[in-house]
Amino acid sequence: MAVPLRKRIKRSVRSALVRAALWILGLLPLGPALALGGLVGRAAYHLARGTRRLALGSLAVAFPEKPEAEREAIARAMFVHLGRTALELAAIRSYDARLETYVELSPPGLLQEVIARGRGMVFVTGHVGSWELLARRIARAGIPNAVIAKAGGDAGLNRVAERFRAAGGVTTLWRENPDTGRAIIRTFRQGKALGLLIDQDTKVQGVFVPFFGRLAYTPRAAADLALRFGAPVVVGTIRRRGPRAGDGHLLECVEIPFAADPPDREAEAVRLTAACSAALEAAIRRNPAEWVWMHQRWKTRPEGEAQAGGPQAKAMPKSAELSRG
């Protein structure tokens, strides 16, 4: 369906404004960029009431034992984190040359050892910390990588994101592109890493696995690809080392073992997905302010559970678990 002219003009103007804003913000040194981002985040906490309510609702599901005041503090810190992260990425030129020290890899050498096996790598992460900076740092470590991403409705903004990644050595594979399947096969055959985010309830094939003590519909592609290609699985998350501009980030990785030739492939895919999700949950628990709590993570429920699921719940028949698309 053709996009109406008025909408195309609106998108073009918006894309141009975003590029102009990024260029201007890119002139800022890192310290002022982080300070400005923090101010933007604090303002957004008070102004974006709907988003704030969603975040507080998710925090109540994840941390029912915490006092309301503590959950509100986490939500407020999340907004500040997102503001700082956005401005930090815009100011990438101010620290890109020293990215190796700005983002520390832990444990050192793990990614290189995994990729040296020659079977590629399934790199699993989530919307934790500065996930775009994570992909850039992996590329800087000499690990060629591609990420699977969902295209937004604005092609101009999609190009902005794709160019940012490409400038850092990261290839974008758009989920909607019919050639992405072949590109994924090439990625593994060439021994590269493929990055996937599995911490959101989206319209892709998935399974229900525990997340903060409650079943959550979770993308299964990482497990399926690992089992198909025999590629090792690494879960990685990034977090700030401290509040100051010079503190930088810590990128922590762990390899998730799995059975290469399991007697029950489906059960192994579910187990591997659950293990990856558990690793992400552990990282979020260590630093809850750096996850996107406004996402309705428990929105889709197994059949028969929606009545007790609360405002996020939407039932999914069990037969649809593996075919949602």
Residue 152's nearest CA partner among 40, 11, 51 is 11
Residue holding tokens 């030129």?
Answer: 93
- Strand 233-240 with 214-219, pairing: unpaired
**Is residue 325 in some structural domain?**
no
For residue 315, what pLDDT is reported?
57
What secondary structure letter does DSSP report for 201?
-
Q: Environment class of residue 162 by beta-carbon count within 10 Å: exposed (0-12), middle (13-18) or buried (19+)? A: middle
222-262 pLDDT, tens digit per residue, is 999 999 999 999 999 999 999 898 899 999 999 999 999 99
Range of the domain at 117: 5-320
Q: Which two tokens stand for residue 279?
A: 């690793």
Residue holding tokens 């003590």?
Answer: 213
Give the chain's domain count.
1
Query: CA–CA separation, 101 vs 137, rounded Å?
Result: 10
Query: CA–CA separation, 12 vs 17, rounded Å?
Result: 9
For residue 308, what pLDDT is reported?
44
Query: CA–CA separation, 171 vs 144, rounded Å?
Result: 9
For the chain, the 3-state helix, strand and coil shares in percent, each to the nearest 5, are 50, 20, 30
User: How many C-beta atoms lie closer than 10 Å to residue 71's C-beta?
Assistant: 21
Q: How crowded is the C-beta side of 247, counted as CA atoms within 13 Å?
A: 9
Please answer whether residues 219 and 202 qualify as being in contact, where contact means their C-beta atoms are separated by less than 8 angstroms: yes
**Is residue 301 in some structural domain?**
yes
Q: Which two tokens stand for residue 66?
A: 């915490």
Q: What's the farthest any 2 CA atoms get from each other in the chain?
A: 56
Residue holding tokens 């025999």?
Answer: 230
287-301 pLDDT, tens digit per residue, is 999 999 999 999 999
**Is residue 102 in some structural domain?**
yes
Residue holding tokens 């260029």?
Answer: 23
**Is residue 221 in some structural domain?**
yes
**Is residue 261 in some structural domain?**
yes
User: How many C-beta atoms lie closer than 10 Å to residue 20's C-beta?
Assistant: 10
**Is residue 194 in some structural domain?**
yes
For residue 130, what pLDDT is reported?
98
**Is residue 159 in some structural domain?**
yes
pLDDT tens digits, the chain, 325 residues: what are they?
Answer: 566 778 777 777 878 888 888 889 999 999 999 999 999 999 999 999 999 999 999 999 999 999 999 999 999 999 999 999 999 999 999 999 999 999 999 999 999 999 999 999 999 999 999 999 999 999 999 999 999 999 988 888 899 999 999 999 999 999 999 999 999 999 999 999 999 999 999 999 999 999 999 999 999 999 999 999 999 999 999 999 998 988 999 999 999 999 999 999 999 999 999 999 999 999 999 999 999 999 999 999 998 776 444 556 665 544 344 434 3
Question: What contacts 152, CB < 8 A, 6 or more positions away?
Answer: 158
DSSP 231-271: --EEEEEEEES-SSGGG-EEEEEEEE---SS-SSHHHHHHH
**Is residue 250 in some structural domain?**
yes
For residue 310, what pLDDT is reported?
52
φ, ψ (nearest 5 deg) of residue 191: 70, 30
For residue 323, what pLDDT is reported?
39
Please answer whether residues 219 and 196 qualify as being in contact, where contact means their C-beta atoms are separated by less than 8 angstroms: yes
